[in-house]
Structure formats: structure tokens, C-alpha cells
Amino acid sequence: MKKKISLIFGILLMAFLLIPNTKVMAEGTAQDYTTGEDVTKLSTFALTTGDDKDLNNYVTYSVNVASDAASSNVEVVFPMTLSQKGILNCAFVFLDSNPTTSYGDFGIYSDAACTKPIDYNTYNYYAIIPKKGTYYFKFSVSDYSDEKPEDGYYFGFSSNFFSGADRNLKDKTWSIAGSEVQKPIYYKVTTTKAGSLTINLESEYSSTITLLNSSKKAISEETTYYSTDTKAVYAVGKGTYYIKVASNSELYRIKSTFKAVTDTSGTTKAKAKKLPAGKASKGLVLASDKAGKVDWYKFTVTKAQTVDITFLGDVSSGEISLELYGNGFSGSVTEYINTVNSDKSFSVYTLGSTKLSKGTYYIKITKKTKNTSGSYTLQFN
């Protein structure tokens, strides 16, 4: 993602080299490249979703630094007020007709006197904005030639902004984020029913994701994902939750998707839900459930026959187990789900036969640890 953004800035700044300036600007001002209006304060574009259309939004200026016949070093400073912490993606180019005699430089500062620089990465074109406030952008030129240009010196400058603030996640909608490496951002999610909560995260490097309750206490394992396209799934009840993300990427985007699930499992063996042949049942192991909580199901075989059990699920934290009971089975058939898109389907065998004898059988689903949560699908054929 970061390489793509850098390429966009490189392309748009090349426009300054190809399109001549049509207006000599007043000393100490910048010109909005789109409207042609002079400004004394810079602004930027706050990105939201991080899709291709969103990434093409930016604010661009042509900046003038007035020349001084008596000085080899000149500069101009413009403020920009940012309402949140985050990452300012910005790039500049010095537009000098005689680069052999002059040199242009750029810096960002947290004070008007420009004595306190903030981190600006000239390779990746981003600046870390540690907190909301006003920052100062200094454009400076060193020119040791005898003849200085009458209309001064020009820079091209362009930027957009990736918020690093905590925020609400809108269901099924991507949100773009920018933060210092491994500095967590907290995303609030509210659910009106019990169901499955899926978190998708796109980043260049690894990230850790943790599910928190309404008090921001962890109710899942802190899991590190090394894939650039990450998917985490939790099972939650009605309520407010937070997703804590700490990434090794300065820029990433995140999306939450909630799907309500009705769990009709039995809470005891005596109340086990009957599984009709060929019909799937969905279940939830909620993050709020206690470790050891069980769901019970049963199915009946009317004659000796081959039986296949479908056991699918999504678990990003902890482990869900399945045990089979009845007619000689006492938990000796055990399967586990502990990953997203897990498939632990199996055929039931008895000693010396591929057929299961006539009778009623029970399936026990267990939450193995305190921080386990996930959804599953169960079916027998």
C-alpha cells in the first residue's frame, strides 16, 4: 500500500515540471494548484476508506520563495492545522530552472520558529503527526549564484492525511489508518445481537489484533498476523467491543463485518439439539462464555450405515473441540478447530467396519480456554 501511495505522489508532482506557472505569486504565499488562489495557510485531504478513488484525493500547492539579491539563503514558512494524530503523506519537488547553482529543501516543525522538527521520511514521503495541533512547513533555498531569479523560487507540494485516532468502525466499510509502528489504535464496534465478527486488515507488514470488551479488557489472545491480507473472526454477544490493532506498517486499512447467528444447541446432554440428516446447524462459542462451556447435539442412525460429520469453523483465538459419544464412542473421536476457515470434517469408523451401527449418538462442542471464541457449522450425512 505504501509503495502505491508513493508512486501516486511521484506522478502528481511531475505535473509541476510539465505545466508552466502562469502567475507570479506574492511573497510569503502559496498557490492552490487546482483553484489558482493564493493562501497563507496550507490544508490537506483526510482520507477515509483507502480505496483507489480515495487515495487519489490530495491537496496540491505551488509554493513561492522570494529571492534576495543580498542573501544566498531564503525561506518561507506556512502553517497547517491537523485535528488528529496520524500520518501525513506528503511530497515536494524543487522547481528550479538552474539546479546546478541552487538547492531547495523542505522540513516540518511543531513550533512557529521552526526549531523542533518532526520526523519526515524523505524516502517514503510521510511525516508522523504525534498529536493534533498546528505544524509549520518550511521551504528553503540556497543559491550561491551571482544573479538571483526575479520571480523567486518555486516548489510543488502535495499531501493527504491518514488518521491515527481511535474511531468507530462502520459495518462492511473499509477505514484507512496511519500510525507510528506498533502504536495501537482502538476501533469501536457495537453489535445488537449475538453473532460472528470478522475483522479484515490489509497492511504491508505484520500486525497484532486483540478483541477487547467495553472496558477495553482483552477477551481474546493477542494474535500476530504475518499476512498482508489478514482475516480474524470472533464470536460475540450483543454489546460494545474494541478491536486493538498494533501494526508494523505505518499505513493500513481495516474493515469489520458482523453477521448475526442463531445458536440452537443444547446446554446439556439431556437437552441436545437433534441434527436432521443433511441439514447444517450453526453454533457460537462466545468470547463472554466461560472456559469449559459446552454445546450438545445428537443424531440417530436407524440402520448400520456410513456416517460423515461436517465440522467447519472460524476461530482466531483459542480452540473449539468436538467429541463423539454413544454406542462405544466416549470421546475417543475428537477434532479441534483453531484457525479461520478450518475444516475438520471426518467419517466415523468402528473397529473392523466403515459403518456406524444403529443407535443415537451425541456430539459435544467445548470452549477449551477462557479467550476462545468462534463460530462453527455442524452436519451429519
Within its chain, how far is the Cα of 257 from the centroid?
A: 13
Cell numbers representing residue 46 in the block = 483526510
* Cβ-contact 342, 313 below 8 angstroms: yes
Determine the pLDDT at residue 1: 57
Note the pLDDT tens digit of each residue in 159-177.
Answer: 999 999 999 999 999 999 9
- Establish how many alpha carbons lie within 13 A of residue 264's alpha carbon, considering only the half-sphere containing its beta carbon: 10
Which carries the bigger pLDDT value, residue 217 or residue 349? 217
Distance (Å, whole) CA 362 – CA 299: 7
- From 84-88, 210-214, 295-299, 322-326, the region with the lowest mean pLDDT: 322-326
Dist CA 2 CA 55 (whole Å):
11
Q: Give the pLDDT band (50/70/90) at residue 255.
A: very high
pLDDT, mean of residues 28-57: 92
Q: Where are the domains of the chain?
A: 2-163, 167-260, 269-380
Q: Please, which pLDDT band fits residue 111 given cuts at 50, 70 and 90?
A: very high
Q: What angle do CA 281, 284, 287 make, to 5 degrees?
A: 175
Amino acid identity, position 376: Y
At 19 the pLDDT is 41
Q: How many CB atoms lie within 10 A of CB 242?
A: 22
Q: Taking the CB of residue 363, how many other CB atoms lie within 10 A of it?
A: 25
Domain 167-260 matches domain 269-380 at the CATH topology level: yes
Cell digits for 269? 446432554
Average pLDDT over residues 118-139: 91
CATH class of the domain at 167-260: mainly beta
pLDDT of residue 271: 96
Specify whether the CB–CB gap between 220 and 207 falls below 8 A. Answer: no
Residue 14 pLDDT > 50:
no
Top pLDDT among 332 and 33 is at: 33
The kind and range of the H/E element at 16 are: helix 2-18
| Radius of gyration of the chain measured on its C-alpha atoms | 30
Q: Which fold has domain 2-163?
A: Jelly Rolls (2.60.120)
- Under 8 Å CB-to-CB from 289, ≥6 apart: which residues? 367, 373
Residue (of 222, 246, 107) closest to 164 by Cα position? 246
Segment 66-78 shows an average pLDDT of 92
Q: Choose among 240, 241, 242, 236: nearest CA to 286.
A: 236
pLDDT in the model for residue 207: 96
C-alpha–C-alpha distance, residues 246 and 248, integer Å: 7
Q: Which of 8-12, 147-151, 252-256, 270-274 has the lowest mean pLDDT?
A: 8-12
Cell of 160: 493527504
> How many whole angstroms separate alpha carbon 312 and alpha carbon 375?
9
Q: What is the pLDDT of residue 8?
A: 45
Question: Which pLDDT does position 149 carry in this prediction?
Answer: 87
Average pLDDT, the chain: 90
Closest among 125, 127, 155 to 139, alpha carbons compared: 155
pLDDT tens-digit readout, 215-238: 999 999 999 999 889 999 999 999
Assigned fold of 269-380: Jelly Rolls (2.60.120)
